[in-house]
Amino acid sequence: MLFEIDGLPVYFPYDRIYPEQYAYMCSLKQTLDAQGHGVLEMPSGTGKTVSLLSLIVSYQQFYPEKRKLIYCSRTVPEIEKALAELKRLIEYRKSCGLKESILGLGLTSRRNMCLHPSVSKEKKGKVVDARCRNLTAAWVREAAQSGQDIETCSFYEQLENSEIRDEVADAIYTLDDIKEIGKAKNMCPYYMARRMLSYANVVIYSYHYMLDPKIADLISKEMSKESIVVFDEAHNIDNVCIESLSLDIMRPTLESSSKSIAHLSERIEAMKQQGSEKLKDEYEKLVQGLQDTLHAREEDLIMANPALPEDMLHEAVPGNIRKAEHFVAFLKRFNEYLKTRLRVLNVTAETPSSFLRHLKEITYIEKKPLQFCAERLTILIRTLELNNVDELQSLQKVAALATLVATYDKGFMLVLEPYESENATVPNPILRFACLDASIAIKPVFDRFSSVIITSGTLSPLDMYPKILDFKATVMESYPMTLTRNCFLPMVITRGSDQVAISSKFEVRNDPAVVRNFGNILIEFGKVVPDGIVAFFPSYLYMESIIAMWHEMGILTEAWKSKLIFVETPDAAETSIALDNYRRACENGRGAILLAVARGKVSEGIDFDHHYGRAVVMFGIPYQYTESRILKARLEFLRDEHRVRENDFLTFDALRHAAQCLGRVLRGKTDYGLMVFADRRYARQDKRSKLPKWINQYITDTSVNLSTDMGIAIAKKFLRSMAQPLETQAQLGVSLWTLEDVLARQRAQKEKLERAAAQGSVHQQHFLQYGAADAQRLAQDRATGAAYMDVN
């Protein structure tokens, strides 16, 4: 359908639109108009991706600036889904008679795209990357061209010899499409996609290409400033940011980096004896410093790299590491220092500055050269024309640590843990260099791009993200879900049938009465819920202890009578087998329960739609392990820097995970499912208010403080009424709009706004929209309820 939002014609590739999709597009347009950042929360399964794409593409094509869209998603399947939607959208636009050329494409790792006969057989992404580099690096190709017998990649050569812009027409290319073209033209699809990125209208790729400083530097730094950046499924974005700047250093890392250092110095010796000019050239260049980069950044051509801060660019590389052999010696010293640190047998936590002080006392290494470590290493590797870069990974890690520790004295912490777990007796020390501030990694993105949209199904409370990521949002909006029937039923079970309060609170979590009541919830729901049930626990540790106790109490035997039971484990292969069998049991009517962990693989990215998850039970509140030193440090940091109270952040974090888990059950409006919060603490307002609006909206007072038996009674009724046939006709106008509905809504809104303006008070637009929709839905509910009054 085609409709206008404030004068912008929007092409939407479906005949019907959900009201929340329309509202979402309106807010999106506001954000883009204001050239600001936005935080938008929209329920899962309501067509977020398609509304996003159709509005932004319409926006992009309508205005002369043709702002580029960079859409970042989390996993490869999600990227593929988005690309398929985009393709559909563009086809629709074409069928509407629009003559425009839009180039859209997705990018993923070499492992998924490689065509080289032997390299593509490799299983590990890192190995593929390294082997690819060995075949395509500039010096390898030069050597090959000069007649030496060195293997190169024919696909890459073909690409180098042709001009892509002429070869590939403007269209939408999914990952498979690019591979097909690559095959047809004998060109490397990965590099082809990377070259096309710079002039594509729509780019869809993973977060890491934007947030991870190492990768972003290669791929995203040349994206134009006007681009619109979207982070989808962004509820975990702060953790991604933190992980991209955190490092773990263990003994094997240091051993391997020592080896690499030795290898480097050998190469340098060899090169010297050959009398090569290269080392000298390098030295000359270093004296000049990193001026080029500075110029580029000043002219706003490239995105900043958080690992290469501004002030460093103004200076030349310090004298003591300019010479290759000096630098290698320097690295060696630093590496040895780290080794001695790892020998310590008690836990220590320190700030970067105290680490530097200690470093200086022992090894006389100054802060300045450390800062340049990573950059200098890259230059050295290039000069030495080294192959097998993957072997140098550990060394690069050490160098990155050196740079980061010397650059930031705030927002990072070093924790040294001599034992892996509390009970371990054999020391296996880890030096964790933990990033505490999520805003460091994402700062360049916010600085560079004028519109950054953060969106997901679970972002509540919305004001938390601007705080922890340190940006100002022009639009922050959460959309309720309009439904013809209440197709999910959230309920809070606070006590068992014996009235014992249940909670995963530390003091009571192993109390047999609580464990038994958790078990009873599982048994009872197993009896009344058809097909699949997914149950989430706060942690693996807790799940294991509970399952052991259930086994002793005979609860598992009881639950087995109605359903099969599968358990998620930290092992990915094991879990995927369990998931497979779980799905089979749901399909053939046997029914199954899947026990999973709130922060595990199952809770993110795996959908339990329809019969795969008719109910999801959240046992307890998935708080993080609060005794962790890194978490404590992060909380402290948040309190000091962003004025976020520890408790607020912990609850926020726990509830976004809980909401994420419970959201798994509902993927679309024809689906239905139960959401059970099994913990006394969910009944409290401070917890509930942090749940997404679309879930909160359906938590009624009647379902907030239930005992198990009451919950079961409600669940039975719910499942019966949801099984009644649903007609699309009933949804029309309420939770599904046709073009007429959209136009009527726009007219009504306009009138209302005019009236409001006349009265001199401007109401919030959003409220007006939803006031009407809610009332309509209520009326509808009442009508359907009355229709089934039984007269017998």
Q: Judged by CB, which is closer to other proteins: 504, or 707?
A: 707
Residue 301 in tokens: 């051509």
Closest approach, Cβ 449 to other proteins, in A, equals 45
Of the candidate spans 159-167, 272-280, 474-482, 708-716, the one that interacts with other proteins by CB under 8 A turns out to be 708-716
Q: Judged by CB, which is closer to other proteins: 418, or 530?
A: 530
Residue 606 in tokens: 């795996």
Which of 101, 161, 425, 588 contacts other proteins by CB under 8 A? 588
Of the candidate spans 109-117, 271-279, 421-429, 716-724, the one that interacts with other proteins by CB under 8 A turns out to be 716-724
Which of 367, 397, 599, 610 contacts other proteins by CB under 8 A? 610
Q: Is the peptide bond before 461 cis (omega within 30 degrees of 0)?
A: yes
708 lines the binding site for other proteins (CB under 8 A): no
716 lines the binding site for other proteins (CB under 8 A): yes
Number of chain positions touching other proteins (CB under 8 A): 38
Closest approach, Cβ 532 to other proteins, in A, equals 9
Residue 779 in tokens: 């009326």
Write the binding mask 117 to 156 for other proteins: x where contact by CB under 8 A, - elsewhere: ----------------------------------------
Q: Determine contact, residues 440/245, Cβ cutoff 8 Å.
A: yes
Closest approach, Cβ 708 to other proteins, in A, equals 13
Count of residues in the chain: 792
Distance, in Å, from the CA atom of 224 to the CA atom of 103, rounded to the nearest integer, reads 15
Q: Judged by CB, which is closer to other proteins: 491, or 654?
A: 491
Which of 225, 590, 747, 750 contacts other proteins by CB under 8 A? 590
Q: Judged by CB, which is closer to other proteins: 623, or 718?
A: 718
792 lines the binding site for other proteins (CB under 8 A): yes
Among 452, 365, 404, 418, smallest CA distance to 70 is for 452
Cα dihedral sign, 521-522-526-532: positive
583 lines the binding site for other proteins (CB under 8 A): no
Closest approach, Cβ 526 to other proteins, in A, equals 9
Residue 236 in tokens: 């975990």
Tell me the backbone φ, ψ of residue 493, rounded to 5 degrees.
-95, 120
Which of 91, 587, 640, 740 contacts other proteins by CB under 8 A? 587
784 lines the binding site for other proteins (CB under 8 A): no
Q: Which of residues 479-538 bind other proteins (CB under 8 A)?
A: 527-531
Q: Judged by CB, which is closer to other proteins: 525, or 542?
A: 525
Q: Who's near 581: CB < 8 A, 6+ residues apart?
A: 564, 566, 592
Instruction: Classify 115 as helix, strand or coil.
Output: coil
573 lines the binding site for other proteins (CB under 8 A): no
Instruction: Classify 773 as helix, strand or coil.
Output: helix
Of the candidate spans 122-130, 620-628, 701-709, 766-774, the one that interacts with other proteins by CB under 8 A turns out to be 701-709
Which of 124, 702, 748, 778 contacts other proteins by CB under 8 A? 702
Of the candidate spans 15-23, 119-127, 337-345, 607-615, the one that interacts with other proteins by CB under 8 A turns out to be 607-615
Closest approach, Cβ 494 to other proteins, in A, equals 12
Q: Judged by CB, which is closer to other proteins: 468, or 529?
A: 529
Distance, in Å, from the CA atom of 772 to the CA atom of 741, rounded to the nearest integer, reads 12
Q: Judged by CB, which is closer to other proteins: 405, or 535?
A: 535
729 lines the binding site for other proteins (CB under 8 A): no
Closest approach, Cβ 671 to other proteins, in A, equals 12
580 lines the binding site for other proteins (CB under 8 A): no
Closest approach, Cβ 709 to other proteins, in A, equals 11
Which amino acid, one-letter code, is at 746?
Q
791 lines the binding site for other proteins (CB under 8 A): yes
Q: Determine contact, residues 310/290, Cβ cutoff 8 Å.
A: no
Instruction: Classify 173 as helix, strand or coil.
Output: strand
Of the candidate spans 71-79, 86-94, 284-292, 581-589, the one that interacts with other proteins by CB under 8 A turns out to be 581-589
Of the candidate spans 68-76, 551-559, 721-729, 757-765, the one that interacts with other proteins by CB under 8 A turns out to be 721-729
Q: Determine contact, residues 231/239, Cβ cutoff 8 Å.
A: no
Which of 363, 721, 749, 784 contacts other proteins by CB under 8 A? 721
Write the binding mask 2 to 31 for other proteins: x where contact by CB under 8 A, - elsewhere: ------------------------------
728 lines the binding site for other proteins (CB under 8 A): no
Distance, in Å, from the CA atom of 428 to the CA atom of 437, rounded to the nearest integer, reads 27
Residue 252 in tokens: 């094997």
Q: Determine contact, residues 458/235, Cβ cutoff 8 Å.
A: yes
Which amino acid, one-letter code, is at 182?
G
723 lines the binding site for other proteins (CB under 8 A): yes
Distance, in Å, from the CA atom of 670 to the CA atom of 483, rounded to the nearest integer, reads 10
Distance, in Å, from the CA atom of 70 to the CA atom of 206, rounded to the nearest integer, reads 10
Which of 705, 738, 746, 749 contacts other proteins by CB under 8 A? 705
Among 189, 11, 174, 16, smallest CA distance to 87 is for 174
Q: Judged by CB, which is closer to other proteins: 473, or 585?
A: 585
Which residues in 611-746 belong to E strands, given as ranges?
A: 615-619, 673-678, 706-707
Distance, in Å, from the CA atom of 698 to the CA atom of 679, rounded to the nearest integer, reads 18
Q: Determine contact, residues 597/623, Cβ cutoff 8 Å.
A: no
Which of 323, 505, 611, 632 contacts other proteins by CB under 8 A? 611
DSSP category for residue 762: -
Encode burial over 7-20: b for 16+ CB neighbours within 10 A, e otherwise: ebebbbbeebbbbb
Beta strand 69-73 with 228-231: parallel, antiparallel or unpaired?
parallel
Q: Judged by CB, which is closer to other proteins: 557, or 647?
A: 557
Closest approach, Cβ 674 to other proteins, in A, equals 10
Encode burial over 210-240: b for 16+ CB neighbours within 10 A, e otherwise: bbbbebbbebbbebbeebbbbbbbbbbbbeb
Q: Judged by CB, which is closer to other proteins: 173, or 677?
A: 677
Torsion of CA 175, 177, 182, 184, to 10 degrees: 160
Q: Determine contact, residues 506/759, Cβ cutoff 8 Å.
A: no
Sheet containing 69-73: give its strands across: 172-173, 104-106, 202-206, 69-73, 228-231, 451-456, 37-41, 473-478
Instruction: Classify 149 as helix, strand or coil.
Output: coil
Closest approach, Cβ 588 to other proteins, in A, equals 5
Q: Which of residues 241-300 bind other proteins (CB under 8 A)?
A: none
Q: Which of residues 628-687 bind other proteins (CB under 8 A)?
A: none
Which of 40, 114, 635, 704 contacts other proteins by CB under 8 A? 704
Which of 246, 478, 562, 624 contacts other proteins by CB under 8 A? 562
Q: Judged by CB, which is closer to other proteins: 154, or 705?
A: 705
Closest approach, Cβ 522 to other proteins, in A, equals 15
Closest approach, Cβ 186 to other proteins, in A, equals 44
Sheet containing 615-619: give its strands across: 564-567, 592-597, 532-537, 615-619, 673-678, 488-495, 706-707
Write the binding mask 345 to 374 for other proteins: x where contact by CB under 8 A, - elsewhere: ------------------------------
727 lines the binding site for other proteins (CB under 8 A): no
Instruction: Classify 199 as helix, strand or coil.
Output: coil
Q: Who's near 336: CB < 8 A, 6+ residues apart?
A: 363
724 lines the binding site for other proteins (CB under 8 A): yes
Q: Judged by CB, which is closer to other proteins: 147, or 725?
A: 725
Q: Determine contact, residues 158/186, Cβ cutoff 8 Å.
A: yes
Contacts to other proteins by CB under 8 A: 527-531, 562-563, 586-591, 610-611, 614, 701-706, 710, 714, 716, 719-724, 785-786, 788-792
